[in-house]
Structure 1
Amino acid sequence: MIVDGVEMREIRPADAAGVADVLDRNRAYMAPYEPLRTEAFYTEAGQRTRIEELLAERDGGRARPYVLIGGGVPIGAINLGSIVFGALCSGAVGYWVDQAWAGKGVATAALEEVCRVAREEVGLHRVEAGTRVGNLASQRVLAKAGFEQYGLAPRYLHVGGDWQDHCLFHRLLHDDPPVLQDQSSRGRGEFDDRP
């Protein structure tokens, strides 16, 4: 449990129907902060495809996708993605929570757990995240989880029908040197000077 009544676990293809349902119910709530989506995105088949893509990223060593379960059904998701090793040792996190569960510490607890995974299991030095400038709720979640703002990206993502400025945040997890590892076993993801 990450908070009372909420479990965070790796997402599975069997979660597709529940994830599609919660996303469909939260369309209006999340619209100001999400890219425009096709109708297929809100279907079980669309979510099954997305989950399979996330699991392929996991298998390639580039992601750790999770679902948040409350009351026995999906209520959100959090994904550690864009994992890069080598000299950078970094990843990016994205998350969302059902409106009915917002403000209850679910996103903060999930973010803290993902940072623990990033450091202890994946071996990352830092995790980053971005929020639309006006998304104060998400910025509070990031601050509570130990993230600090380090920049502003003008016209960063096409969200809510227009290119939107985003605040950029990061959390440094440790200052140990990167562990040297054979990157070929993890797929692409090494960050170095080679073309």
Structure 2
Amino acid sequence: MITFPVAITRDVLMRPLEDEDSKGLCRAYLRNRDHLRPWEPRRGEDFFTEQGQADRVRGRLKERDAGRLVPWVLACGDELVGTMTLYNIVLGPFRSANVGAWVDAEYGGRGLATEALRAACRAADEQLDLHRIEGATAIANLASQRLLAKCGFELIGTVPHYLYIDGEWRDHILFQRILNSRSPGIRPADA
């Protein structure tokens, strides 16, 4: 079973989101504002403040406690350099979640997203007993498409007007990774 924090690289850990992360997330989002703009919804100025991030962290932890979200951060010492999140978690016969992630522009190309996504997939399989994970990327986001393919996600297809990103409805490419074919409720240790 995977145990967090997980060493993603020699210098970077993937660990669960904590209440105290709002300052680090504020700094990270400010540093990466332009880098993330093409791939995210438009953000109000309050998003880029410590209070805005504190409110967001509280909301995400509430969603985590309700079983709908699993948020992690990527930390290099005291600096946060990315996030990895399983969201829209649905149990029952579907046993599925969506995945979203980003890595600081200064840390791109070092394999952080790849290792973090692999760790998230293991946690989804071994701890959450999920059957599948879905990922979506904007059509122009070739780096995220390569990441998903590298981590065993298969192409589902293109969805028109899928998400409202950077001020307009954008087409996305959907991928999925089937984690296992177990019956729900049977963990890997039981199989």
Same structural fold, with TM-score higher than 0.5 when normalized by the shorter chain: yes
Amino acid at match of 1:95: A
In the other structure, the counterpart of 2:20 is 14
Match of 1:4 in 2: 10
Structure 2 gap ranges (5+) = 1-6, 187-191
Cα RMSD (Å) of the superposition?
1.0
SS in 1 for 2:147: helix
Cα deviation for residue 151 of structure 1 reads: 1.4
Matches within 5 A, 1:66-105: 66-105=72-111
TM-score of the superposed pair, with normalisation by structure 2: 0.92
Partner amino acid, structure 1, of 2:27 = D
For the residue of structure 2 that corresponds to 1:50, the secondary structure is helix
Q: How many residues align?
A: 180
**Which letter does structure 2 place at the counterpart of 1:147?**
F
5+ unaligned residues in a row in structure 1: which ranges? 181-195
Q: Deviations over 1:120-178 (max 9, x none)?
A: 00000001110000100111111111111111110111112211000001100000111
Matched residue, 1:125: 131
For residues 33 and 19 of structure 1, the distance between their equivalents in structure 2, rounded to whole angstroms, comes to 17
Confirm whether residue 56 of structure 1 aligns to residue 55 of structure 2: no
Distance 1:139 1:148 in 2: 10
Q: In 2, distance between residues paired with 1:128 and 1:159?
A: 18
Q: Percent identity?
A: 45
CA distance in 2, matches of 1:133, 1:80: 21
Matched residue of 2:127: which SS?
helix
Q: What is the identity, as a one-letter code, of the residue corresponding to 1:124?
A: L
> Counterpart of 1:190?
none
- What secondary structure is seen at the aligned counterpart in 2 of 1:153? strand
The answer to whether 1:46 aligns with 2:31 is no
Question: In the alignment, which residue of structure 1 is the partner of 2:163?
Answer: 157
Normalising by structure 1, we get a TM-score of 0.90
